[in-house]
Structure 1
Amino acid sequence: MAFPALILAHWLARFSAMSGRMLVSLALLLLSSSLHASEPIRIAAASDLRYALDDIIENYHQAHPDADIEVIYGSSGKMTTQIIHGAPYDMFFSADIAYPEKLQELGMTATEPSIYAIGRIVIWSSTLDAASLTLEDLGSDAIRRIAIAQPNHAPYGLRAQEALQSAGVWEAVQDKLVFGENIAQTAQMARTGAAQVGIIALSLARFPELAEHGHHLIDERLHKPLTQGYIVTRHGKDKPQARAFADYMESDAAHGIMSRYGFVLSQ
């Protein structure tokens, strides 16, 4: 009977060792999940969202007080390049859905690109009555500096260029143009007097400090749509809070804030 007892002891020892390893693995898994849950969500966002997204995050914190969300605002093109080169963003909100689609083609997304809104552009000024201005007026000798975002990497700048071209004044304003790195910087240039006029995002013109001055809404038929989209990046695929915030962006509360800032919600 000693031999079976030795066999039984051997298998009990193996089971005990396996159970120990399984417990250690389970503990590490739970620890990893806990760390992912507590890590901040890092968001790269187009500058036209600066005020709307800040308000959305403030609302989100009311329901999720422990959520840690960091947002970096900039131009969509430059942020796409940063993500391609390894920037640790968990989500990306782009002013042009073409950029998230590019990241998807490169295998750098954890979700399908989703449209969150359509943006609009306006003529805005802190010194002139922008509400009475048209694109054709920008060719006047009385206007010496016009701020737009850099068309090479900022979707709002490219749409401003398209609108000026459609209005037939692109060539006439070449010597007047000053370029912001992103649409928020462009608005700041117009606000501080570095430019008399800016072609900026409606969402920025609706911010209370800028809304004190009127604006002229540019006919959307003069440029391609500013179809805006977001994704959870490959870096954020294991962060439940990133997906939770993505779900919140589809909520009535988030939509209400976006509408208030002049975004047209996708149907």
Structure 2
Amino acid sequence: MKKTVLSFLLTCLTLSAGEINIAVAANVSYAIDELKAEFAKTHPDTKVTVTLGSSGKLTAQIKNGAPYGLFMAANMKYPESLYNDKIATTKPVVYAQGALAYLSDTKQDFSKGIDLLTDKKIKKIAVANPKTAPYGKAAIEAMKNGNIYDKVEQKFVFAESISQTVTYAVTAADIGLIAKSSLYSSKMKQYKKGINWVAVDPKLYTPIKQGIVLLKDGNKNPEYKMFYDFILSKKAKDIFTSYGYIVE
């Protein structure tokens, strides 16, 4: 009887402590540390290992067998693809809605709206690769709906992910279209709203609904489901809200 109880306790201990590997869209990189810290308050023995990247590239890795148990994408397209291919074991749900913003290292006249990008002083515009990064796709859509795409296309400096776009916006370009969430990071305090950045008119692009799914490898460890439930909890939603996301 004692051996049975001991075996049960050891099994519970194994299930409650371990490491989980998750794939996370680059735009969440600014909030992920705070999310992990909050999760650790109730799951101190769970190590959360995060791989950041563009949603398209992460999806390709997952389809090629990368050992992730959970995927937080920058839109619903990629997790839906994984679900349809029976690689994701849960139907995609929205965990947050992202937004675009302009960012420049120098003062800009944002009263011009998206027409600012056509200014002769703006010679390079940082944009995430629209083929793999949902925020890049949204940026292109905004410029097309703003009827300036043909005028500014030759100015584009493409980044592989939205986090790299932030870097390019203040180094390799005069301005960039980035994830608004990045501007709420403590590392971005030097950039002031109305001077260095403003939100892009949300009417210019389709809402960026970000989706989460559990993957096949997530079935091997119940801690993946715990983190999944946490991301959809009020505590996590409060953190997302503090980083400029819209949550329901």
| Same fold (TM > 0.5) | yes
**SS of residue paired to 1:237:** helix
Query: Where does 1:13-162 land on structure 2 (aligned, <5 Å)?
Result: 37-129=16-108, 131-132=110-111, 134-162=113-141
- How many residues were matched structurally? 240
- CA-to-partner distance for each residue in 1:103-133, whole Å, 9 max, x for gaps? 0000101222111011100111112336545
Contact 1:75 1:153 in 2 (8 A): yes
Instruction: Work out the percentage of aligned pairs sharing the same amino acid.
Output: 34
Q: Which moved more, 1:127-136 or 1:45-54?
A: 127-136
Task: Tell me the distance in 2 between the aligned counterparts of 1:112 and 1:125.
Answer: 38
Task: Tell me the distance in 1 between the aligned counterparts of 2:18 and 2:182.
Answer: 30
Bigger Rg over Cα: 1
Query: Where does 1:241-260 land on structure 2 (aligned, <5 Å)?
Result: 241-260=223-242
Report the residue type matching 1:256 in the other structure. D
1:59–1:74: structure 2 CA closer, same or farther, 3 Å change rule? Answer: same
Match of 1:10 in 2: none
1:116–1:244: structure 2 CA closer, same or farther, 3 Å change rule? Answer: same
Report the residue type matching 2:56 in the other structure. G
- CA-to-partner distance for each residue in 1:193-247, whole Å, 9 max, x for gaps? 2111010001002212224322221111111110101011011112111001111
**Following TM superposition, by how much is the alpha carbon of 1:44 offset from its aligned partner in structure 2, in angstroms?**
0.4
Task: Tell me the distance in 2 between the aligned counterparts of 1:90 and 1:67.
Answer: 14
Task: Tell me the distance in 2 between the aligned counterparts of 1:137 and 1:127.
Answer: 13
Task: Tell me the distance in 1 between the aligned counterparts of 2:109 and 2:169.
Answer: 11
Report the residue type matching 2:69 in the other structure. D
**SS of residue paired to 2:65:** coil
1:180 aligns with 2:155: no
Match of 1:224 in 2: 206
- TM-score, normalised via structure 2 length: 0.90
Output the aligned Cα RMSD. 2.0
1:261 aligns with 2:239: no
Unaligned runs of 5+ in 1: 1-22
Q: Which moved more, 1:77-86 or 1:202-211?
A: 202-211
1:258–1:144: structure 2 CA closer, same or farther, 3 Å change rule? Answer: same
Q: 2:184 aligns with which of 206, 209, 214?
A: 206
**SS of residue paired to 1:135:** helix
Task: Tell me the distance in 1 between the aligned counterparts of 2:163 and 2:150.
Answer: 25
**Following TM superposition, by how much is the alpha carbon of 1:74 offset from its aligned partner in structure 2, in angstroms?**
0.5
Unaligned runs of 5+ in 2: none
Contact 1:123 1:133 in 2 (8 A): no
Report the residue type matching 1:94 in the other structure. A
Task: Tell me the distance in 1 between the aligned counterparts of 2:52 and 2:239.
Answer: 18
- CA-to-partner distance for each residue in 1:143-198, whole Å, 9 max, x for gaps? 1111010001100000000000111111111111001100000001113x211101
Q: 2:172 aligns with which of 169, 172, 194?
A: 194
Task: Tell me the distance in 1 between the aligned counterparts of 2:150 and 2:11.
Answer: 57
